[in-house]
Structure 1
Amino acid sequence: MSVTTIQQVSAPFRRIDKAVLGIAGILAAIAAVSVPQAVDSVYFTLESLLGIAPFLLVAVGVAAYTDAAGVDRMIAQAFQGRAVLPMVALAALFGAMSPFCSCGVIPIIGALLAMGMPLPAVMAFWLASPVMDPEMFILTAGGIGTGFAVAKTFAAVGVGLFGGLAMMSLLRLGMFDNPLKGQVSCCGTSSVKGDKPVQWAFWRDEERRGRFGRTVWSNTLFLAKWLTLAFLLESVMLAYLPPEMVGQWVGGDSLFAIPLASVVGAPAYLNGYAAIPTTAALMELGMAPGAAMSFMLAGAVTSIPAAIAVYALVRRPVFFAYLAFGFIGALVSGVGYQVFTG
């Protein structure tokens, strides 16, 4: 078969959306093993999408408005020359108090980057947000202990600060320009585009109205399909990789318990709320406090479902930096907590 023929045969497959292909493949695989589980996974995915829909719509609407009105250009210019360090600190603090999970924060991140928010501040918020929120603090204090909940809150802020400050240093390398992928129209390759003035009432301009509509549609479709894939994969991991099983791998208090907890917790999804009783039980059985901390942090920030959604949104250097910051932050927090409690 000639090269031309191969290209002609493979062309239709290259046009198939990767997210849609992944959704179909996962559903087919689940159905082949268990039809009831496939139905449960569909229901889980739909419920998760409905739960995140308000945040997604608000984020998409804000991003589309700033794009159509030209506000993103004004915001980007306002940030030029400003001190980023205070913004990183505030973003980490706000992230630790915000009620977003690792997947739910994705639309917010897209909107912030589209509006020209500096990447270090966004990274700080991004890393801190899934780790802790007020409701999780209360449940963690009741299920594991107030001391652990307070430490986890400090860890959330610390991981966010670490990621934001590290990103400030790495920006000098020039690898993180235009962090968002170009396929997301509201997150174009630059927040500063064109010389048109800001028009707050953009709906009076036919061209801007059209831009707003196209941006809302393309970004809603983009985020919805990738979040669908992430939630679907989450349902599979919860069904076939329960927290109890994963917890057994990282039990004990050996020297390697904390690094192992970070390694296992990073890809393994462990819902923040479901993790509380499991982690409490493991600690009663002898799991080291530092290992428990690393496991919960790594699972919250860099789980496979979250990684898929992140990879769809940002370019590879930002994606790998996010994973590295989350893993290192979980490891260091675990060691620090172990030393503090030891």
Structure 2
Amino acid sequence: MVDIFYPLQWIADKLTYEVFGIAPDTNLGASVNFIIYDVMKIFVLLAVMIFFISYLRTYITPEKTRKVLGGKKGLQYHLLASLIGTITPFCSCSSVPIFIGFVEAGVPLGVTFSFLITSPLVNEAAVAALWATIGLKATLIYVISGTLLGVFGGYFIGLLKMEKYVADFVYKIKVGDQTKKLEDLNIKERATISYESVKDIVGKVWIYVIIGVTLGGIFHGYAPEGILAKYAGKDNPFAVPIAVLIGVPLYSNVMAMIPVIESLIGKGLPIGTALAFLMAVNAISLPEIIILKKVLKNRLIGVFVLIITASIIFTGYLFNIIL
């Protein structure tokens, strides 16, 4: 792959070694260069990806989605719900209101869970940051696996026929189409909406990007080579489940976690173990579970957490085998 980010690396080198006068063969030089380069690269990809997905999103309203998925069953609809999840809400908590709307509109519970699972796992910001840090190949594998987790996780929940564990009031809510008629927008108006999305999302996550990249840069420059491979490498059969079990109760912004994951991989942590940890942090967050408790009963929440946890562990082992 052509290094389209070479100009950014050139700028990082100039700033680190000439402007700041830090020697290139030092731990400090490695850390500072990593931080400058990664911050620039992540922000560039964030702007491009968010603009593109936001523009596409102007054609896909929640009401349209509910009409397409309402009352539909079959793996193809789980796949469609997962794909919709990849271009909708930015975090797990903001996915919940749409989840409620889907249930109210008659979308099967399993199909609705396919959306809920994929939405926080795969979004434009995460894809941009992953691409910038661990490369296109690993990012594509992450996106495909996150989508499939949604498909099969939702499918299994649907097979269990757990509709009775949804709070009764959810089915009584009347959700109207509160969106402006996006079909009437012209190209300039859609571009304006997309630009505003870039400002909004970057405005919310920029601090997490800087914090995450800084932590990753410190680890990149100062952590001993191979330390993680020794304690959490492929030879440790419990590394993946331990990483997932740590990630499940942990709540962190994905933008802060990805640069840290990059550094951990660079120091010897297997990609599968690292991505399984990242998936656990994003797919099952404590705030999401707290919000879901208002609309779902404990048994359904427990099944949801168990299925996703087991699926992520399986995915982590699979990644470690094929990558």
TM-score bracket for the superposition, by shorter chain length: 0.5 to 0.7
1:166, distance to aligned residue in structure 2 (A)? 0.5
Task: Give the distance between the partners of 1:113 and 1:79, measured in 2 at CA.
Answer: 9
TM-score (norm 2): 0.59
The equivalent of 1:180 in structure 2 is 166
1:147, distance to aligned residue in structure 2 (A)? 1.6
Deviations 1:82-114 (A, max 9, x none): 433321110112212324311111111111111
The equivalent of 2:274 in structure 1 is 292
The equivalent of 1:260 in structure 2 is 242
1:180, distance to aligned residue in structure 2 (A)? 3.0
TM-score (norm 1): 0.56
Closer/same/farther in 2, CA of residues 75 and 93 from structure 1, 3 Å limit: closer
Task: Give the distance between the partners of 1:123 and 1:83, measured in 2 at CA.
Answer: 13
Whether the 8 Å CA contact 1:128–1:159 is kept in 2: the answer is yes
Identity %: 21
Task: Give the distance between the partners of 1:307 and 1:249, measured in 2 at CA.
Answer: 31
Closer/same/farther in 2, CA of residues 115 and 290 from structure 1, 3 Å limit: same
The equivalent of 2:265 in structure 1 is 283
| Aligned ranges 1:1-342 → 2 under 5 Å | 79=70, 82-171=72-161, 176-182=162-168, 185=169, 187-188=170-171, 252-253=232-233, 254-341=236-323
What SS is found at the alignment partner of 2:252? coil
Structure 2's unaligned 5+ residue stretches are 1-60, 178-207, 220-226
Shift >4 Å, 4+ stretches: 242-245, 248-251
Task: Give the distance between the partners of 1:124 and 1:307, measured in 2 at CA.
Answer: 16
Structure 1's unaligned 5+ residue stretches are 1-61, 67-73, 193-198, 201-234
The equivalent of 2:5 in structure 1 is none
Whether the 8 Å CA contact 1:270–1:296 is kept in 2: the answer is no
* Cα RMSD after superposing both structures: 3.4
Task: Give the distance between the partners of 2:314 and 2:148, measured in 1 at CA.
Answer: 10
Task: Give the distance between the partners of 1:112 and 1:140, measured in 2 at CA.
Answer: 29
1:179, distance to aligned residue in structure 2 (A)? 4.2
**Count of paired positions:** 214
Whether the 8 Å CA contact 1:131–1:297 is kept in 2: the answer is yes
What SS is found at the alignment partner of 2:307? helix
What SS is found at the alignment partner of 2:92? coil
The equivalent of 1:39 in structure 2 is none
1:328, distance to aligned residue in structure 2 (A)? 1.5
Task: Give the distance between the partners of 1:118 and 1:139, measured in 2 at CA.
Answer: 33
The equivalent of 1:37 in structure 2 is none
